[in-house]
Amino acid sequence: MSAIDEVLREPVFAAAPPVLVDVGASGGVHAAWKELAKYSICIAFDPDEREMAGTRRASRGYKDFHVFNRALTAGAEGLSDFYLTKSPPCSSLLAPNAEKLAAWEFADRFRVLKKSAVETIRLATALAESRVERVDWFKTDSQGTDLRLFLSLGSSLIRRVLVAEFEPGIMDAYEGEDKLWKLMQCMDEEGFWMSEMTIKGSTRMRKDAARGLRGFERNYMVHVLKNSPGWGEVTYLNAFAGDGFGKRDYLLGWVCATLQRQHGFALELAEMGQRKFRDAVFEELRRNTIYAIRRSYFHLPSYLPLVGRAIRKWEKLRLAKRAAAQT
């Protein structure tokens, strides 16, 4: 049994399982949640029926699963326009900005096939219907409304979120969308730190500008032309500033940091938990994290200085002695 399994079998999680929120859910269990899923409650949203089959199949991987075939909104509940685009993942409550998108190679993905009225739901309503009172890991790809949805949780719940994942825009893809710069400013103010960012993008090239290219050249130009930043995939972790965190928060915070391979922060949380609660479980987590850090030396590339190889050799010898002592 892994250390993560041992932590999630602690009695505190039997009464209050981890709560995972997935906005724009499709295609199965989020890769980062695979070790969490069987212990967790997942609340998923996707108003596009074309994407719901994979979401429903994924429900078998969770302790409990609540799926809402409604659009999550930060505004009033009821009926709202929903823009179904040629590429289902680009569908949104916000209208695609056709004028600005026209400058980009992938503009056709945002072409609106149909505007339909969909039921919307607020996050507070969905949490109440799912009978949960917290959100531990918030993941959203709402196509333009990520930040406003997160803020709709309210300050008391936001302070307790441990991980938040967003996919905000850099370019102008939707009318009135939440942008990356605003997200960064807000999350800093809310007491989170950015643990990871991947910048994605497309080729800046208007469709009419490609008329001089042959058909096969237009099909393959995305593989040879330089991409420009269009949006980001951003992950934030709670900085655990202040005194409002309990034992459950520190245990689950360690799990989340470990899953994110943020072993330095995981070590910090284990040490903070040990000082605050004087519980042996945190000392075990501290040792586990140190072991994970040491194991990382095995993956150092061979071209690093001799010190790297010396550390790996020392660690192999230490592990061999440990194994011998256990037999």
The full set of domains in the chain, from first to last, is 17-238 (3.40.50), 240-327 (no CATH)
DSSP letter for 207, please.
Answer: G
- Give the residue, 197 or 292, on which the prediction is more confident: 197
Q: Kindly provide the residue ranges of all beta strands, DSSP E only, lying in the chain, ordered along the sequence.
A: 19-23, 41-45, 64-68, 71-73, 78-85, 112-122, 137-140, 163-166, 192-202, 228-238
Q: Is 315 helix (H, G, I), strand (E, B) or coil?
A: helix
pTM of the predicted model, to two decimals?
0.86
For residue 99, the model assigns a pLDDT of 94
- Give the integer Cα–Cα distance in Å for 237 and 135: 13
- Determine the average pLDDT of the residues in 275-300: 86
- Give the residue, 40 or 326, on which the prediction is more confident: 40
Residue 13 banded pLDDT, cuts 50, 70, 90: very high
Nearest Cα neighbor of 71 from 62, 79, 63 is: 79
For residue 243, the model assigns a pLDDT of 84
Please state which of the ranges 25-29, 88-92, 156-160 shows the lowest mean pLDDT.
25-29
- For the cut 70, the answer to whether the pLDDT of residue 167 exceeds it is yes
**In the numeric block, which tokens belong to residue 289?**
């994290």
In the numeric block, the tokens 């949380």 are attached to 269
Residue 309 zone, left/alpha/beta (φ > 0; ψ -120 to 50; rest) = alpha
For 63-91, what is each residue's pLDDT tens digit?
999 999 889 999 999 999 999 999 988 99
Q: What is the 3-state secondary structure (H, E, C) of 28-82?
A: CCCHHHCCCHHHCEEEEECCCHHHHHHHHHHHHHCCEEEEECCEEECCCCEEEEE
- For the cut 50, the answer to whether the pLDDT of residue 303 exceeds it is no
For residue 11, the model assigns a pLDDT of 93
Please state which of the ranges 22-36, 190-204, 267-281, 291-305 shows the lowest mean pLDDT.
291-305
For 170-184, what is each residue's pLDDT tens digit?
999 999 999 999 999
**In the numeric block, which tokens belong to residue 290?**
């140190």
Residue 316 banded pLDDT, cuts 50, 70, 90: confident
- For the cut 60, the answer to whether the pLDDT of residue 191 exceeds it is yes
Beta-bridge partner residues of 120: 71, 78
What residues contact 235, with CB distance under 8 A and at least 6 apart?
Answer: 163, 164, 165, 166, 194, 195, 196, 197, 260
